[in-house]
Amino acid sequence: MSAESATCTEKRWLSIIGIGEDGVEGLCSVARQLIGSAELVVGGARHLELAGDLIRGRRLAWPSPMSDAFGEIKRYRGRSVAVLASGDPFYFGVGKQLAAFVPAEEFVCLPQPSAFSLAAARMGWSLQDVSLVTLHGRALEGIIRHLQRGARILALSWDGATPGHLAGFLDARGMGRSRVTVLEAMGGPRERIRHATASHFEIEEILPLNTIAIEVIAEPEAAFIALASGLDDAFFEHDGQLTKREIRAVTLSSLEPRHGELLWDVGLGAGSIAIEWLLRHSSLSAIGIEARSDRADRAARNAAVLGVPELQIVQGRAPEALAGLARPDAVFVGGGMMDDGVFEAVWAALKPRGRLVANAVSLETEARLTDYFGRFGGELIRLQVARADTVGAMSGWRPAMPVTQWRVRKP
């Protein structure tokens, strides 16, 4: 953008401007002019203070929740508005929320280096080799899926207490020797970088604006979440209603998770299918429907322990509990297929080309799946698993109950 075009037009009325800890000094001339010419400037109190010398228009500090300000921004449509954000507004920043209601052709974005870029540069790490996580406003357990032996992680903090909480979290999981670096107020006069191990974390008076760098070093007994589906059954708290490891691995393969998709897990039980679906990729989402409150609570605990606290759980009985839910791309029915109206409801809600997978152990449920297979097609398979066990003084195979699986794609 040239200096001559550094004013908002009716077409590009919104400027989204990244600002660092160096404030106005780090802004290019175009960004300065856009802020100075804006009728409305929106940002955090810290951002408004950093750019204070440039602002001539009305100032609006983000309220809580932030979305309460979106209506005011919309009312200025066609007039010059500047939104200030930390670093790169489209890297875990406000850019995503703004782009949800302002078309790309109506705004211009001038980013600064993100906290991730600055932290990687300070640490000498290549960003493509690092897991990038935000803990701002999110559960600490969200980092679990990224904890792998030898992994490097950069995490945006929620506040000054986050690094200490995270260090204790790592230590409790057998990763106390992990190296933890706290990088505060990068790019400004208050910048500070301090190191510690997770088990001896003695860094104090940490600024709220900080990023955490982690080099994972684990004890031999530390438990990691495998990258493949089919986690050991011991990872899940359950009351016996659990899709067992080998069957679960096949079921996830049949569900075929793809980027950005939503799963309905009807008859959630311990939550193992929905949890492993979410573990496949951070873009995936899942809703579990469970009639029993104790099982719904148990599934929530499993989701937190295994690092997917975003699992949405609806307590209620299908099909009534399905009303009003977002349409799924895939459906797993692990319980409730014998209930009247369940299949019809999930089939009607399933998106075109969506996948439905149902497992049966009882002869009655198998008969129903066989009927659906005859009417709707798909594949009907039988899965049998046997485990070696003692037989007297010797060993032999002890078979588990066979599972009949029906998988079908909606036209």
What sign does the CA torsion over 301, 303, 306, 309 have? negative
The Cα 404–Cα 220 span in angstroms is 38
233-409: CATH, from 3.40.47.10, 3.30.70.1290, 2.30.30.100, 3.40.50.150: 3.40.50.150
* pLDDT tens by residue, 236-267: 999 988 999 999 999 999 999 999 999 999 99
3-state SS string over 336-357?
Answer: CCCCCCHHHHHHHHCCCCCEEE
The Cα 6–Cα 27 span in angstroms is 13
Residue 305's Cβ-count burial label (10 Å; 0-12, 13-18, 19+) is: middle
30 by DSSP, 3-state: which? helix
Q: What is the pTM of this model?
A: 0.88
Mean pLDDT score, 192-220: 97
Distances (CA, A) of 149 to 171, 173, 218, 289, 301: 14, 12, 6, 34, 24
* pLDDT tens by residue, 104-145: 999 999 999 999 999 999 999 999 999 999 999 899 999 999
Instruction: Give 17's strand partners.
Output: 84, 110
pLDDT at 2: 44
The Cα 156–Cα 378 span in angstroms is 45
The Cα 332–Cα 275 span in angstroms is 12
Q: Give the CATH architecture of domain 116-215.
A: 2-Layer Sandwich (3.30)
pLDDT at 336: 76
CA angle, residues 325, 352, 357, in degrees to nearest 5: 75
pLDDT at 241: 84
Pairing label, strands 394-399, 386-391: antiparallel
Task: Give the containing element (helix H, strand E) for 241.
Answer: none
Let me know: does 406 contact 357? Beta carbons within 8 Å: yes
- Residues 6 or more apart in contact with residue 171 via CB below 8 angstroms: 198, 199, 201
pLDDT at 8: 52
Task: Give the containing element (helix H, strand E) for 211.
Answer: strand 210-215
Task: Tell me the two tokens of residue 153.
Answer: 């992680």
pLDDT at 58: 97
CATH superfamily of 3-112: Tetrapyrrole methylase, N-terminal domain (3.40.1010.10)
Domain 116-215 identical in fold to domain 233-409: no
- Please give the single-letter amino acid code of residue 154: L
Q: How many helices (H) and strands (E) does the chain have?
A: 11, 19
Domain boundaries, the chain: 3-112, 116-215, 233-409
Mean pLDDT score, 277-289: 97
